[in-house]
Structure 1
Amino acid sequence: MRAVQITEFGGPEVLSVTDVADPAAGAGQVLVEVSRAGVNYADTHQVEDSYLTSASLPLIPGGEVVGTTADGRRIAAMIGHGGYAEKALVYEAMAFDVPDGVDDVAAVALLVQGITAWFLLKKVTHFQPGESVVVHAGAGGVGSLAVQLAKTMGAGRIIATASTKEKRDLTLELGADVAIDPAAEDLTAAIIEANGGKRVDVVLEMTGGRVTDQSLVALAPFGRLAFYGMAGREEPKDVSPVALMKHSSTVSGFWLAHGFNNPELLRQAYAEMAAEVAAGRLRVVGGGDYAMSDVRTAHEDMRARRTTGKLVIDPRK
């Protein structure tokens, strides 16, 4: 089969399409004919070996797929690696049935990014109706879904950040009340101003560096910041417990891999969001449908923050 395989760690330049042996299903696994593989920031870290867990070579990247089993079942699934290929092995416990009315791009978008948005709001920050929330990278895969989910949960005010006017306009279309530029010199002041002069209750943050630092200072008493990525590849400053006491703030980290220990909760999250998509109440923003032969371009575009919504790879091209 055709697959993207790396034999050394690095940037997009190490990604190459080659022929490899078809995978063989073991106990508890099923072989899937892949129709789309999702592309995530985590993939770019995996390829350069800067992710939370170290990778081994040779490696076929890609942590999520949608496709069809030999018996005609259409499923979406999260996998550790191996997604950028014509065929992939999926553990049955991590396979989610895709309902009618959910296309391939939406089906795969609701995996890592959709379930992450669900966890961030419902389990990590315990978001409540009437609260204000800042969604950084609000036009991205997680952000675009988090904005909409916060709206359905009764958010008092949704503040999205995005790097361009086009992206900010998109967040407003999706339900944000205000959209601001995260490059503002004083991001803390910009966030508070966007919330009518008041500090905010919840921040969903995946950029790192100054964005994290200045967002933390914008939290209201009992405010919560959930840190779930570092797209800027710059670590935030260390957080002092004394500084947290100043506003009774909470900073939490989130890594979706820890949800793998509770497949039923993952299944609940996926089913809820898929039902919203099928009913037309949740919009998945497509960010680019790349041929597998253009995988380097997909990674370059994602790393350069040129994209919105969900990026996917078509392994048949």
Structure 2
Amino acid sequence: MKAIVAPQPGGPDVLTLAEVPAPVPGPGEVLIDVVAAGINRADVQQRRGFYPPPAGASTILGLEVSGRIAGFGPNVTRPFSLGDKVVALLSGGGYAEQVAVPAGQVLPLPGGVDVVTAASLPEVAATVYSNLFMTAQLQPGETVLIHGGTGGIGVMAVQLAKAAGARVIATAGSDEKAAMLTGYLGADLAINYRSQDFVELVREHTGGLGANVILDVVGAKYLAQNVQALALYGRLVVIGLQGGTTAELDLGALLAKRAAVIGTTLRARPAEEKATIMDGVRGHVWPLLASGAVKTLVDKTFPLSQAAAAHEYFDSGAHVGKVLLTL
């Protein structure tokens, strides 16, 4: 089968279309003919050599796909049939014509979403649902600060938090993106982090109380400011390291707020945990997509053969929403 490989770490130009062995589904796995694959920040980090796949996972990039069921390994108990249109959360292998994945990480398409667009959903929906609701326990009426509000994670997080009855503050890198956050996605306040102080504006917007929950993709660069922006008993959930891995933490400030800093990843979790998360996504997120309360947002699609160009565009930061590869 054809797949995108990265023979050595580097920029987008290292991504090459090649012939590789087709996957064989193991016990409890389904085989999917891939229609589209989502591009995520984790793919970029892996391409650069900073984020190797978990033990036993495919070395091919790609953490989410949409497609059709093409086969089954032994002992698949989920009620799928050949040809079913599905999405899947992966540990790797998405930039390819086929992928084998545990059946618990596969869901039918949500109502009203076509099979290509659906590739934009599994990674972001699972990440946001597991972190905002399972980990941070975001409650109606609480205030959440979402960094990177116009990226794939941010777009989903803003909408799910609003649908849950939270007050949403989100950051973006331009006035145009900030306007989209409030105008199209429904955020209560959008902050241009390049020209505005998000700590000051969060405090102002909350009457000095701060944010109950912060969902952060930046990491070290924002650690001190995030703690300053937290409310009493606030929960800072760090899910990305775009701003580095190491920073000083003022434990006095953290203790004074009785706050928590939580770090999580999705990719390396056991299949059983991922299946639980995906069941939650199906129960809580899919109905919101089917009703139109939560919208998909795909910025641009590229053919699989143009994966290098797609990564170059993704790296530019110009996108709003998801970038997809199509087969």
Query: Match of 1:266?
Result: 278
Q: Output aligned runs, 1:279-290, within 5 Å.
A: 279-290=291-302
Aligned to 2:73: none
Instruction: Kindly report which structure 2 residues correspond to 1:1-317, keeping only aligned pairs within 5 A, or say none.
Output: 1-51=1-51, 59-70=59-70, 71-155=82-166, 157-172=167-182, 173-184=184-195, 186-232=197-243, 234-257=244-267, 258=269, 260-262=271-273, 263-314=275-326, 316=327
**Cα drift, residue 270 of structure 1:** 3.1
In 1, Cα distance between equivalents of 2:48 and 2:55: 9
Unaligned 5+ segments in structure 1 are none
1:5, 1:58 within 8 Å by CA — same for their partners in 2?
Answer: no
| Displacement after TM superposition at 1:56 (Å) | 9.2
Q: When the two structures are aligned, how many residues end up with a matched partner?
A: 313
CA RMSD in angstroms comes to 2.2
1:12-38 CA distance string (max 9 Å, x none): 121111222322233322221110011
Q: Distance in 2 between matches of 1:199 and 1:52?
A: 36
8 Å Cα contact 2:209-2:232 kept in structure 1: no
SS at match of 2:224: helix
Instruction: Work out whether residues 37 and 120 of structure 2, in 8 Å CA contact, stay in contact via their aligned partners in 1.
Output: no
2:60 is paired with a residue of what secondary structure? coil
CA gap of 1:31–1:57, structure 2 versus 1, over 3 A, is closer
CA distances 1:87-120 after superposition (whole Å, capped 9, x unpaired): 1112222211224422234422321101111112
The answer to whether the 8 Å contact 2:54/2:91 transfers is no
Q: Secondary structure at the match of 2:137?
A: coil
Off by >4 Å, runs of 4+ in structure 1: 52-58
> What amino acid sits opposite 2:179 in the alignment?
D
**How far apart are the structure 2 equivalents of 1:53 and 1:293?**
22
Percent of pairs identical after alignment? 34
Judging changes above 3 Å, is the alpha-carbon distance between structure 1 residues 206 and 57 closer, same or farther for their aligned structure 2 residues?
closer
SS in 1 for 2:30: strand
Call closer, same or farther: CA 1:52–1:159 in 2, change over 3 Å: farther
User: In 2 relative to 1, CA 259–266 (structure 1 residues): closer, same or farther, beyond 3 Å?
Assistant: farther
Greater alpha carbon shift after TM alignment, 35-44 vs 8-17: 8-17
